[in-house]
Chains A and B, each alone.
Chain A
Amino acid sequence: MDKKEKIGVYVCHCGTNIAGVVNVGEVSTWAAENLKNDGVVIARDYKFMCSSLGQELIQKDIKEQGLTRVVVAACSPHLHEATFRNACKGGGLNPYLCELVSIREQDSWVHTDKIAATEKAKAILSGGVSRVIHHEPLEPLHVPIHPATLVVGGGIAGIQAALEIANAGFPVYLVEREPSIGGHMAQFDKTFPTLDCSACILTPKMVDAGNHPNITLLTYSEVEKVDGYVGNFVATIRKRARSVNEADCTGCGICWEKCPKKVVDNVFEAGMGYRKAVYVSFPQAVPKYPVIDRENCTYYIKGTCKACEKFCPTNAINFAQEDEILNVQVGNIILATGYDLFDSRRITQYGYGRLANVFTSLEFERMSNAAGPTGGNIVLRDGKTVPKVVGIVHCVGSRDKNYNEYCSAICCMQSLKFAHLVEERTGAEVYNFYIDIRTPGKGYEEFYHRLLEEGTHFIRGKVAEISDAARLPAEEGKLIMQVEDTLTANQLRVPVDMVILSAGLEPRHDAKEVANRFGISCSADGWLIERHPKLDPVATVTEGIYIAGCVQGPKDIPNSVAQGAAAAARILGKIQQKEVALEPIRATIHEEQCSGCRICNNMCPFNAILFHEDKMVSEVNPALCQGCGTCVAACPAGAISGTGFSNEQILSQINGLLLLNIPKKEVVA
């Protein structure tokens, strides 16, 4: 070191979070004595370093002691690195000359042996001190924020987010995989606990989104690739061929009326009803244009038919239409891709798919929907028999080690809703089989009480089996639900006509690929991970990418809407600022040392490294570099350096961490 740095060391108690295990006083005294040679001129410990008083302490020392470096031993940099960098900035020190080392998450919270934890804290601190010596003053990189936003998923969460941003006057691309936006909510009949009609509250929002001048609606489309970084993403979107020219189509409906080919509708009607080969998902679909399902269309299979084309008054049918690939530039992205319903077939003892009158929750939603296959009549598979006894099974596929350990959050309320609808429409007797009744939410508990008063039966127990094997005359022709009533400890056999399985929510089957495509990660059970479970539920670790609705975890409509709005608000704030500051962590190739060996050329997945044939040297494009440092580690000539994580910084940190391992005589040398 040519000139000796003046380093200030600050050890945080974090109340008792750290001080309860680590002897913070001993650590700061040790640092003051043993790290003198590294340039430590002052070492303090303080109750809460992140408090304004703590920060002022640092700023005061910078001014009075002329500190050139600051090391704070406190919590994880992921929590407070920015806090202390700003504190240094306030004190007139370049924020990047501050190092925050974690003696909480990585020490006091995970260890019980106080002596060992204190020794470890010393090591971690001395690592930070050795490292900070080699920090360089840096300036954050400022990149402009493109005002447009990409919203992936046209369910209620995505629609809400899109509308919030669009209404604020900024462009939005709303991408939906299905032919229409609306998502699961469009399939429901009533919504709990108020029982107002789902379509009635959703449709206006869908229409708004469809007509909004700031919203480009891309249905029947999927995002295939995302490049770039916060402020400047480029999304590659495949707009699948509808075989219908949107410009000419009026949505009159003649085509699907005339279409001779009936197809079981497994998506919207959950297999309960039929659609044509040319179809709109449902009457209120947005956009109104139909699509031709090429897998089932007779023309595409046999090469003849073209009924739709013949009858279309505006010649909008276009069999030759091809997929379009669009590249859209956006500044931020919201993922609201929702959930898949748990496949009840997996619980074979419940007989779904084998026993005709076992229904899934989504099937029941369609059945109870006036616009649905049965016109709202609740009947058995035969389409006419009205059930006299109905059993509703809660927690299907949820809270179960064999399937999903988590609670799907909506099943209790959904089951109560079903029970109410059954009684209201059929007067049938209803049995709810539950593990616990969970009704956290405005008006939810009240709804539960209403059901109790309506005389619905509640049996606390997990249904073991559903079968049609009758043992008693009374069971003939019925479905028998085998269950232990855990309140009375009685084994029950309950004969019913109809069973509704209140299936849980699962991450989309392709959630992992989607996460990878957008550079974020999934939790063990497959839901996308938010930046902080409490304080930052809609952001992700990747700048500029947000999540909303069930893609983040099971939740009901109000929460999904809230998250959509929240994500939008976060993004609007960013757009307003017009630019975003990025960590100045970048790789640089030093031309005079580069031998042009091209080892690094296959190291960069962001194509930030280019090779100049003329000069026979490689170069890093800082705009594309993401700062991972892989090329820095790969360069055999040592010709690549990485700011923020330089070899000097890391190697010195290793020295510092191992200081205590060095024989005493050397420590004071």
Chain B
Amino acid sequence: MQRITIDPITRLEGHGKIEIFLNDDGDVANTYFQIPELRGFENFVVGRPVEEMPLLTNRICGVCPEAHHMAAAKAADAVYHVEVPPTGKKLRELLYMAFFATDHTTHFYALGGPDFIMGPDAPVAERNILGVIHKVGLEIGGKVIQMRKFGHNVVEIIGGRKVHPCTSIPGGLTKGIIEEQRVEIEKMGRWAIEFAQFSLQAFNDIVLGNKAYVDLILGDIYTEKTYYMGVVDANNKVNFYDGKVRVVGPDGIEYVKYEPKDYAANIAEHVEPWTYLKFPYLKNVGWKGFVDGADSGVYMATPLSRLNASDGMATPLAQAEFEKFYATLGGKPVHQRLAIHWARLIELLYSAERWVELATDPEITSPNFRAIPTATPTEGIGIVEAPRGTLTHHYWTDERGVVTKANLVVGTTNNYAPITMSIKKAASSLIKKGNVNEGLLNMVEMAFRAYDPCFGCATHSLPGQMPLEVSIHNAAGDVVDVLKQFVD
């Protein structure tokens, strides 16, 4: 029995460890993807006032704090049974769009992107954001930096801070925006649309234009036929901030569409003793292990799944890309995981468009951005689409609005099972007869990175990384070779 340890996977926000066991023939017998930490937010938020949840749960993840800020704020609204006035909702969504654009940019150019832009076999030293900048040119690198800057500026204008925003409170926000700010936000939004189009063009040229990559995407190894989850608006168009949760089956047909408050009736989290992270699945389909297909409750919640689960995008340019996407990849649903990168760019375009829509909304500068809660606080659920999947916050409070119980189902968690499956599949097809090299291992990682998993987010586990190390054990279990990843 041989054993390979990938501990952990670099260039993803968070911390994971992959164990690959080979049988006597040197083929993959099994893989385990472990989350080595747990921090107990659900426990220690108990006793804290519910208005602090948008501030405390921020700190689950510094990469997508806005998602937790919003989900927690919406849950807190619900706890107080208070309806946020239109301007309040729009301000929150506007902040959220700018964040989405920024986050997708960060991922595409700094985290997942390098695999494509530099090519999986490029020298390690270049396979990072600086490498990307050097390759695509400082001018474009400058654009990437500009995009992130603009996004964070909007987050700061509405949310008060670039990281860990602080303005959402039960009933709305602590402040609105004034005309000068609106103008600035609109200007940056229009620039963001151009940037999104430019990025899609780059993807088009570098990836779709390169047969090797297209084969990589269309190639079977990363494909999983699972259920797909995403939040949709009244017209079943993709929406990140608000709507119903829609799930389609491996066949692309709607399986269920439910109100956020009914999440517990629709999903459950499976527990394994060898990891600190739980495996969500569709309760009414059931947990059948790490297998795909219509009989397995395993589902995916990513940009790709959101596209699969929707009937289209609510903005024109994104809608066009949506159509091109499915035309190129052979219709809905798309099961190939590497297509997530493309879907992400389409969402980038949508969020930029929606950003401008909201920035030009006549109501956006109105002072009507909050309502003072009057009802007795009880229980509330808040759901948003985080870049890495559907995010659910659920709080119970006493009559003073002090949290007595909490439940969090976080973006990345949704994808824990499919990621595990993808890794096994990739490993099995990439490691044969004990033949292992770090190039292959990076391919294993690509399967992983496609999901842009954020285990800072993965509920209650903390990020932190160690580089990849592979120990190969022979059948006797002795170490016969040790590979460190990215040996030059």
Do A and B share a direct contact in the complex (Cβ within 8 angstroms)? Answer: no
B residues sitting closer than 8 Å to A (CB atoms) are: none
